[in-house]
Amino acid sequence: MLNGIDTEGLAGAKTAIRAEPAAGLARYGVQLDWKGGTRIEASTLPMSVGGDAIPRAFSWTVDEPPQLLGQSSGPTPQEYLMSGVGACIMVGFVVNASVKGVALRSLRITMGGGLDLAGFLNLRPDAQIKMSGLTYDIEVDADADAALLQEIADLAFNFSPNAMTAVHGVPVTGSLKIAAAA
C-alpha cells in the first residue's frame, strides 16, 4: 500500500480486465428530486462494475445562491461538475503516484470555471450556454522531481474519465414521462 492505494490489487484488476474486457465496464446512476425553488436532492443509485452490483447510499443537496433564485442550501450544479472533474483528476494523480512509487504528503486541486448567464436565460444568440471552460491547478508535496510529478499530472488528466468527458463531450439523451394524476 502506498498513499492508501493497493497497487497489487490494481495490477490484479488490470490483468482481469485484459482477460475479460466486460469486467472493466462500470455503470453509474443518480436520482434527482425537486424540493422547491432551485433546491434539488440528489441520491446515488446502485452501480455495477463488471458483473458486481454495488449498493450506493449517498445523497446531497444542489441549490443556487440567492442571486440566482436559490437559497444557497448546497453547491451549484457547476460546482458539482467541477468537483467531479477535479476529484477524478485527483484519483488519477494518487493512483499514478502510487504506481510510480511516489509517496504524497499533500495534494490539492483547485478548479475554476465561468458561465455567461445570458446563455442560460436565452437573452442573446451569441451567448454560449455551456461553461466557458474549466481550469485546474495541482499543488503537491512529495519527494519526487518536477519532471516525474509533471508526468504523473499528465497521466492523471489524460486518463481521467470525467476530464475527458468534459473535454470531448458525450451524447446526452433524455425522455419525458408525464406522471399519472393522483
Query: How confident is residue 181, by pLDDT bands cut at 50, 70 and 90?
Result: confident
Report whether pLDDT(182) > 80: no
Domain residue limits, the chain? 25-75, 76-169
Neighbouring C-alpha atoms within 13 Å toward the C-beta of 66: 0
Query: pLDDT value at position 154?
Result: 98
> For 104-151, what is each residue's pLDDT tens digit?
999 999 999 999 999 999 999 999 999 999 999 999 999 999 999 999
β-strand partners of 54: 47
Inter-CA distances, 128 with 68, 79, 113, 166, Å: 18, 18, 14, 16
Query: pLDDT value at position 92?
Result: 98
DSSP secondary structure, 89-119, as one string: HHHHHHHHHHHTTPPEEEEEEEEEE---HHH
> For 56-99, what is each residue's pLDDT tens digit?
999 999 999 999 999 999 999 999 999 999 999 999 999 999 99
76-169, CATH topology level? GMP Synthetase; Chain A, domain 3 (3.30.300)
- Helical spans, DSSP H, in the chain: 7-19, 77-99, 117-120, 146-158, 161-168
